[in-house]
Chains A and B, each alone.
Chain A
Amino acid sequence: MRKTTNSSGSAIKILLALLLLVVTIILCSSRSSLTPATCVRMPAPEETVSEFFDALTDGRYEDCDALLSNYTSLGLTSSTDTVIGSQLFEMLGDSYHYDILDSSNVSHITPAAEVVSSADASAVIVYSSVTIDDINKALESTSVTGKDASVAVAFTYLDISSMSDDLHTLVTDIAYNYAYESIDINNEETANQVVLESLQQLNESIEDYYRTDIFIINMKYDNGEWKIILDEALYKAIIGNIA
């Protein structure tokens, strides 16, 4: 009789312990702060980076905003204040290109300096301002640790600041031509026209002003999705280094 009591008591204890365990697990699972990796499949941070740059390239700026962790908005819209601003903005948008760098695609990436022949250039992705060392260093910086991740991206954009000198030279040349034809250039409308014409000429070889930089995109996992921590370097690149 004593033995029966002991074994049923132990069974009750085990049951109670199991019940407690189940309750603990339920409570843990219900906590929103529980590391999601233990509960659900964590998406790859690269997916979010792709979504962000795809949205940027397509001009879907509100979609970009939704993927930011540290800002409500980029504050980017398609509207510009001036015709020259519109022209530059269009040229900037056309320049955007990105590649997420990882070990699977890095073998297809070759910096321009290391391209031997034009045949090589057509077979690989070429970055004009990036070295193999840059790429390797960037790859070493990528990681996914808990709720933090870093993704390396090669982002190509129109470096508007680098156009400044050539634009100035071209505007002056065209202005002389206008003056030669006795066109009054000393007014805002004509001056704008001269700048626009100059920009259109520069646009014919616009890739000379493209710049590729490698960005380490830091990310944070929040509410079941990865979000991008926008830094100043990427922000400046997005607006073409214009100042």
Chain B
Amino acid sequence: MIPVTNPESDYRITFNDRILDSVHGYIELTPVERKIIELPIFKRLQSIKQLSLVNLVFPGAEHTRYTHSLGVMFLVDKMAVQLGFTDGDRQLIRLAGLLHDIGHYPLSHVGESAYKPPTKAYDTFIQMHIDQTLQDIEKVERPADLLHAGGIKDKPFHHEAIGARLIENSKEIKNLISSYCNFINPLHICDIIIGRYSKFPTLSAMIQLMHSELDADRIDYLLRDASFSGTSYGVVDTGIIIKNLACENKYGVDIVGIKPKGISASDQFLINRFFSKSQIICNRHVAALEFMSQAIIRYVAEKELFDFPKAKNLRQYVNKYESDNTFMKFTDHLFWNAVYALDKDNDNIKHPTYILNFAHMLARHQEIKTINGTDITCSGMEYEKLLRSIRASKPYINLESNNKSTFDRFVEGYEPSHGTVMDDYLIQKAHVVSLTDNIPEKEYDKRFFSENGDSNVDKNGERKENYNKYRLQDGLVVIDKNDGGTDIHLLVDDNRSIIKSIFPLRLAILREYNMFKYEDENDVYKRTTT
């Protein structure tokens, strides 16, 4: 492996402080890290919960992006040591781990989803939600592949793109890095955070430690989410995984993978991640709370209420965060302030009815009611069959019917005349969980290269090599050194892995909620003014 930072540098990792973390124990800090975690822009992460509103359902899940960032720094360093990184390179990857979430949104991914501007125009929020739900259900039959790779994270509203932009524009972070470790180019940190493999091929191994199917980020959040939520899905044999990491050169770049002895631990990691998603993230109460919060964030951002910046202006606020504190305040507190302000304001001339109702419920830690018997959960590997089950269900039939309805402005309207409260206003929400983002090489070839669409065979051969390279960089790789040489392939192509047999597994969930009923309460919700 070729070092990224100057190998002649006499920089040595020395720790001058430590922080006690409930997952990893003491996390030691170098002087530059100590200074960075003191910065208000980093401390901002203490006010962003890792799992948004999951703590209202799993009360222990109070952990924040701050502790997760420290955990990622700790784990990625263990990986770097295993791979024989120089001290300079260790410091670089530690900083990337520490700063990888610095651009996160209020309520983490809930806020991030709310900030994605819709392409189509919708008359009502509900119509947008219906369209999104129908698209989510279609994901059941979409083969998994590595389309999460490459430039995907570089979408302007992705928190990692926001984080990279923030570092690029942060004099205080760049000054600290240049004072304590001037051999590090802060732009390398940005490229690792976003995962720009092609710009700096020498960063390949580092990027994989932060951006692959078995990276420090995913391992830390699986361990941390389980530990804090009290669930048992975070059992990962971190020791075996890290001790079995290896790095080899293929297609001219470094590829990080797991030795055969780490295959079972990797299988266990993927399976536990599947359960963690299905049991925590897709929990019906969590899903309801997140739906309501997302609706509120989307609304206040569109209207620029309660200091929420408009999506199209977010980039400018990130650029100038040192002179304008809009982005500094962009945390969970801002969200809760908006919720309480809306609840207090309670003016359905100024605000839509559904927003006021959601704010009222959230302010009391209540959520909308799931309709009994409509929780449709199917798992399987035959996508057509899975889709048929979902499409035959009552919530789906209602969803289609809602999609064809012309929505009146009753629920969303601003007119003061609609004082009545709806009895039944059913909305549906879908989740699709997959086991892995990887597919076997044969399937990938069949999908992309079986038909030579551009009638240029040589060009296709070159493309295929490029794609194979990126698939390895982004996937979970097995590095098998044997008498015949070194075999490098994806875990889904390895006969020793159970993932090879079950990689197509999907879990599809469709539920129905009543927009205007409390959970566990039969009466239609009535706001205090009615």
Partners in one complex: no
B residues neighboring A (CB under 8 Å) = none
A residues neighboring B (CB under 8 Å) = none
